[in-house]
Amino acid sequence: MSIALRSLLIAPVLLAGSALVAADQSVTFLSYQSSVPDAWVSETPKSEMRQLQFKVPASGAEGGDGAEFVVYFFGPGQGGTLEANIERWQSQFQGPDGAPVEPTVTQIGTETIPATLVELRGSYGRSVGMGPGDDVLADRMLLAGVIETQEGNLYPQMHGPAELVAAQREGFIAFVKGIQPVAPTTP
């Protein structure tokens, strides 16, 4: 597709506090659809529980490591309660003095698809269970969602350098708020 044609198909959007950026790329998974920012690079999911996986490249001349965006789905009734997930995510973070980091929890879903956003920032040691993993990295941020669907909960997450993840927050929220069932096709 030519660049000119592509730019006609992609409408610009204005994110809070930012310049115009290219519109989003559509994504479909399970029986849902939404969109993610064009700058996010699709990757092959590393496990069957990952429905989507994207690399969020670092911006600017300084480079640095990027962030990762993943949507987890464990099946109907699986994945734990919102409270259990918040407790686990919180246990993976520490403040500068080693103290626990308090999460920011916000309801961001719709009437038809309830969703909760959890935000944590500090030193982060990603692990599967409780507590920080072995490699604790300073100044990290986690955006984690719990999206309640009829098929079971979806768990979108973005983690990486705090400044980069904070800059991508609106794209993450737009993904969550944009989740819709895939329209059935008619023969």
Note the pLDDT of residue 125: 84
Strands (E), the chain: 13-14, 20-21, 24-29, 32-37, 41-42, 50-56, 67-73, 93-94, 104-107, 115-124, 137-149, 152-161, 180-181
Residues 37-63 have pLDDT tens digits of 999 999 999 999 999 999 999 876 455
Which pTM value belongs to this model? Answer: 0.81
Q: Which domains are assigned to the chain?
A: 24-181 (3.40.1000.10)
